[in-house]
Structure 1
Amino acid sequence: MDKAAATSTPLPVRTTTSNDGNGADSGEAPAPALELGEPVSPSAKLVEDFYIIVLIGVSTPVNHPALRAGIEAQLARYPHFRSIQVTGKDGVLRWAQTTVNVDDHLIYPSLDAAAVAADPDMAVEDYVASLSTTPMDWSRPLWEFHLFDFPTSEATATTAIRVHHSLGDGMSLLTLLMACTRSAADPARLPAMPPLPARRGAIYQRPRPPASAGCLQFAAWVWSFFVLAWHTVVDVAGFFATILFLKDPHTLFKRVVSHGGVNRKRIVNRSLSLDDIKFVKNAMNCTVNDVLVGVTYAALSRYYFRKSGDTDTDKEIRVRSMLLVNLRPTTSLHACVNMIESGKGSDVKWENRLGFIILPFFIGMHSDPLDYVRKAKKVVDRKKSSLEVVFTHVAAEVILKLFGLKAAGAIFHRMISHTTISFSNMTGPVEQVEFCGHPVLFIAPSGYGPPEALTVNYQSYVKTVKVNLAVDEAQFPDCHELLDDFAESLEHIKDAASSLGKH
């Protein structure tokens, strides 16, 4: 079914000069027809019901003219941000450039003044929750800025950016955000990029030992490929088993479908200290991601045993998460930002480039808090020695092409419904940035759409890591207590790491 009428030439971006935000211009000529462009990618079709929400807190009141001008000059110039999805005469869904009235995308919510005065944080949270049951207008490019120009506990003003997932995945949108910001210390330059990871090549690459290496070292190199192949076979078998019959046990975290079939999502977040996380990382010789997975194990365990009343703390419950993994080259963030800055932004590929890993999560109580991180490191290291993420991405593309969107969507939703949690971790700017002249205090991405009761996203920014939870609010009315569990779990793990080497 067409999401808009297909018509023959792209229109330029336009903005209105009125301040009422209704985007009305007088005396406009009739709109020219639309020119159909590239087909919508299979992965974009697969996430038709998925949306990304990014909360950004700034330290100044909203400068409306500067924000409008900045969005027009930066964000609205990118192809998918000035396009809609249109079905052509050949039945193929394609991107078509259209008019972008920036004022149509700047939304100023009418909130109850008494509710804002009583609890501004909750007023913002309630409104963002309402977005999960509010459809977007498919006749316009699928992005919106919802502006809250009043102080909260963390910011002078807050913006909730809602973007349809077909415009890009979290990493591509983070790249775009980085390209649209400037260093707060020097607005003439881009912000400092996150450091490149140690691995630069493909995950299946194993550097060949030098010619001077002994037989044992060469044998170990050859053996590593056998291990990679075996782990991949095991993980692929688990992938098919999950589609067919393998379900996680019912726990407090497993989604319960409401009678109406619609579960409203509430999005909440909490700031964690990146210095504390790095302290644990260095003390245990692991990665930041290992620590965050360990903190998640600990937080979910605390919540489960407190809320369920289960007194058998010796047992361990195994549930699984869908860990989203960026398949772009490890240097892509830096390369794409540089391309955008040099005027080659149209060459950047914004489509979804994600695979996923089925990552076991272990719910249990440990007397030593560091055991959560040890277990996380063991599980994550095992998953790194597998091509599961590549296979899942390729499988999704092949299934879409062979069996169509309906079948692929059913399989994808079955995968999610047979697991329990979605999990992701992204690295953000390492110095404070400005967005359209507004100094940014925090960045908190999340989303809604997947049929899961709980989604966990981590986002670093300067010296803070935001843990962002998207929960079915009927199932997690105490979601702020769950946030407390994340903060307290990190504190206990850090204290335990501080005692290492003192005995």
Structure 2
Amino acid sequence: MDSSGGLRWRRLGSLKPIQTKKGAGKSYKKAEEDEQPLSPSARLFHEPDFNVHVTAIMGGDSPICPRLIKDNLVLSIQKHPRFSSLHVTDAKTGEMKWVRTKVDIEKHVLLRDITPLDLEQFGSPEKILEEYVYNLTKSSLDKSKPLWELHILNLESSEIGRTGGFGIFRIHHSLGDGTSLMSLLLACTRQVDDPEKLPTIPGQDKNKKKILESATTNRSTPGIKLFGMIWECVKRIWFLVELMWNTLVDVVMFGATTFFLKDTDTPIKALPGSEFRPRRIVFRVVSLDDMKLIKNVMKMTINDVALGVTQAGLSRYLNRRYAEEKGHDNGATEKNNNLPKNIRLRSTLLINLRPSPGIQALADMMEKDTEAKWGNWIGFVLLPFKIELRDDPLDYVREAKSTIDRKKRSLEAVYTFSISELVLKFLGIKASSALSHKIITRTTMCFSNLVGPQEEIGFYGHKISYLASGSYGQPHALMINYQSYASKMSVVLSVDESVIPDPHQLLDDIQESLQLIKDAAIAAS
């Protein structure tokens, strides 16, 4: 523990210099193949006002063995082009490139043992973890080495009768988007019940669905077939018309936001410079089965439910904050509450348009040196949140589904990506960064939902109890991320405490909203 009360860590092993010489190591090909330019989106994440880092927390019931992790992780990481490369700026052209280097695992895996003194000061291992991550967000990754780290916190305390370990990945966002980074993490894991198998991700079997639809059509009479073909043609024409209209409206809204359209100044709206302040990252593990129950009763998706629960939780939280500001409480019902009318509150979604390689492709890439697409290719989607109190909790998820269905029928992400590319090409990276920063600061928050494995997994022999992914460095004062894992769902908040001083209260509101919506769904079934 340092004098300021912060948590210190110690490095594992000696610090050896990283090799940056072209062609270093027999495993690398010729220098021309080792150097690749950064994508425009990756370059964006190196701008001072967009220096975003991803954090992925793994919780376990037993201490983590650093030697076992290092010996296995280095074998996978050194085969990965992004995790084994430096960012180098060409002195003549100013172009940033990925340059392969030899990974010194001792510089990337960091150990911190939790002591009885830590427990006495902070009260619980979870609070120690929270403070440790908070201190991490005060700094950026060292650019003299590949931009990732794994921090290990181990607890062995007979005083409280508990043992356990936490693994905290800190990764620069220029290495890839959340889905790609999660795929890489999962490619380093195996199923607990079958250690030879990779974890699996939930997904629809679209081919099977098409086969069943085709079989049904083939059994129909000629008249029914003709009617079906006409109806399909009408639906496709209507879909294209709706797609073009929605896209036009979304692009106009994007332009309006760029020049003048701002969200309402609510108590959770970021203050200037929020991206430079440290972040409090907290999370709550809830039941994924509860969310599936709501999904099945309402005939929706997990994403619909997550958005609905978030809208409900934010509405409850803001209703309380407005009551505190006014000095009196008007209640918490649909008719009597403290919320202003017509609050404009939007989330900025960063959508990676590059096809996701998936767990299997990344596993093959790391184990067999095969090719797989990687990186950031990002467009914006502006997702409106309805901040209102509802007497019927199911209204929150109905409205969420309507919002998401509308956004699915739009090419907003493709067009905003194209606009950003044009700005970058003709005006440069500074102008592109300024455009992105302006869009984000005129919205309120960031919302995401990462799909995790369906089975319990082990990270090089260490069973994982939960996963919780977040980030810091974004201009928003609030980021909410949902992370599924087996039968659990982690709700992760990354907040600027100068704006949101009570993030655990917001977690309480989200959890209570989930319970109310679940109870209403059961009653309606």
TM range (shorter): 0.7 to 0.9
Residue 108 in structure 1 maps to residue 111 in structure 2: yes
Q: What is the alpha-carbon distance in structure 1 between the residues aligned to residue 18 and residue 408 of structure 2?
A: 57
Q: Which amino acid aligns with 1:251?
A: T
Q: What is the alpha-carbon distance in structure 2 between the residues aligned to residue 414 and residue 50 of structure 1?
A: 16
Residue 145 in structure 1 maps to residue 182 in structure 2: no
Distance 1:355 1:32, change over 3 A: closer
Question: Deviation of residue 338 (structure 1)?
Answer: 5.7
Question: Deviation of residue 198 (structure 1)?
Answer: 4.7
**CA deviation map 1:368-413 (0-9, x unaligned):** 0001001101111111111112212222223222211100000001
**CA deviation map 1:132-189 (0-9, x unaligned):** 1112210100001111011699971001110001111111111111211111112122
Partner of 1:193: 201
Distance 1:400 1:500, change over 3 A: same
Residue 239 in structure 1 maps to residue 229 in structure 2: no
Question: Deviation of residue 107 (structure 1)?
Answer: 1.5
Partner of 1:323: 349
Structure 1 contact 294–376 (Cα < 8 Å) conserved: yes
Q: What is the alpha-carbon distance in structure 1 between the residues aligned to residue 313 and residue 156 of structure 2?
A: 30
Question: Deviation of residue 98 (structure 1)?
Answer: 1.6
Q: What is the alpha-carbon distance in structure 2 between the residues aligned to residue 233 and residue 443 of structure 1?
A: 38
Task: List aligned pairs for 1:89-168, cutoff 5 A.
Answer: 89-109=92-112, 113-117=116-120, 118-150=123-155, 156-168=164-176
Task: List aligned pairs for 1:7-26, cutoff 5 A.
Answer: 21-24=12-15
Partner of 1:15: none
Q: Which amino acid aligns with 1:254?
A: K
Match of 2:368, SS state, is coil
Task: List aligned pairs for 1:23-62, cutoff 5 A.
Answer: 23-24=14-15, 32-33=21-22, 35=31, 37-48=35-46, 49-62=51-64
Q: What is the alpha-carbon distance in structure 2 between the residues aligned to residue 456 and residue 31 of structure 1?
A: 38
Partner of 1:6: none
Distance 1:308 1:94, change over 3 A: same
Q: What is the alpha-carbon distance in structure 1 between the residues aligned to residue 404 and residue 182 of structure 2?
A: 24
Q: What is the alpha-carbon distance in structure 2 between the residues aligned to residue 177 and residue 210 of structure 1?
A: 47
Alignment RMSD, CA only?
2.8
Partner of 1:10: none
Residue 385 in structure 1 maps to residue 409 in structure 2: yes
Which one of 293, 312, 315 corresponds to residue 301 of structure 1? Answer: 315
TM-score by length of 2: 0.84
Which one of 361, 365, 377 corresponds to residue 336 of structure 1? Answer: 361
Q: What is the alpha-carbon distance in structure 1 between the residues aligned to residue 13 and residue 426 of structure 2?
A: 44
Aligned residue-pair number: 472
**CA deviation map 1:264-309 (0-9, x unaligned):** 2110001111111010011111111000000000000010111220
Residue 464 in structure 1 maps to residue 502 in structure 2: no
TM-score by length of 1: 0.87
Which one of 231, 236, 241 corresponds to residue 221 of structure 1? Answer: 236
Residue 69 in structure 1 maps to residue 71 in structure 2: yes
Q: What is the alpha-carbon distance in structure 2 between the residues aligned to residue 468 and residue 254 of structure 1?
A: 18
Partner of 1:409: 433
Q: What is the alpha-carbon distance in structure 1 between the residues aligned to residue 475 and residue 375 of structure 2?
A: 22
Q: What is the alpha-carbon distance in structure 2 between the residues aligned to residue 30 and residue 493 of structure 1?
A: 55
Q: Which amino acid aligns with 2:321?
A: K
Bigger shift: 318-327 or 214-223? 214-223
Which one of 458, 466, 477 corresponds to residue 501 of structure 2? Answer: 477
Match of 1:129, SS state, is helix
Instruction: Structure 1: state its 5+ residue gaps.
Output: 1-18, 202-208
Question: Deviation of residue 217 (structure 1)?
Answer: 4.5
Distance 1:338 1:23, change over 3 A: closer
Q: Which amino acid aligns with 2:108?
A: H
Instruction: Structure 2: state its 5+ residue gaps.
Output: 1-9, 24-30, 210-223, 324-328, 331-335
Match of 1:108, SS state, is strand
Structure 1 contact 172–350 (Cα < 8 Å) conserved: yes
Structure 1 contact 43–397 (Cα < 8 Å) conserved: no
Structure 1 contact 328–353 (Cα < 8 Å) conserved: yes
Q: What is the alpha-carbon distance in structure 2 between the residues aligned to residue 491 and residue 498 of structure 1?
A: 11
Structure 2 contact 80–365 (Cα < 8 Å) conserved: no
**CA deviation map 1:98-127 (0-9, x unaligned):** 221101011124777523343221111111
